[in-house]
Amino acid sequence: MESVLVVVHLFLAIGLVALILIQHGKGADMGAAFGSGASATVFGSRGASNFLSRTTAILATAFFLTSLALAYFAMQTTEPDTVMKSVEPAPQVETVTPDVPVVPDLPSVPETAVPAGGDVPQVDK
């Protein structure tokens, strides 16, 4: 039901945009007053504007109603509170200790390798 409503909503949006782009602006009526041939159209001199404006109003109302219906359906869907509730716990893996020999501690650096006082001799360039 929701996917059908989305498709209808999409077609309403496309039709609404097309009807709005077809309509003439308020400034276009001034050209008709000076004989630009608007009376020879299919709907007559004033018929197209009434037909297009009524059709646009009907499509806009239908678009608004499908928007409300889609919002209602979106509100009814239940989602988990957190991402972690939807994740199954990982299986417990038994830890295995490998048969690797243990390396004894290495001897520390003798004190004689570090100069007394911790000063490092400077090399002239």
The pLDDT tens digits for 50-106 are: 888 899 999 999 999 999 999 999 888 776 667 776 677 778 877 777 777 777 777
Look up tokens 């994740």; give the residue: 87
CB contact at 8 A, 1 and 77: no
Cα(15)–Cα(8) distance, rounded to whole angstroms?
10
Q: Which two tokens stand for residue 88?
A: 């199954």
3-class secondary structure, 58: helix
Contact 12, 64 (CB under 8 A): no
pLDDT per residue as tens digits for the range 68-83? 999 999 888 776 667 7
Rounded distance, CA 10 to CA 18, Å? 12
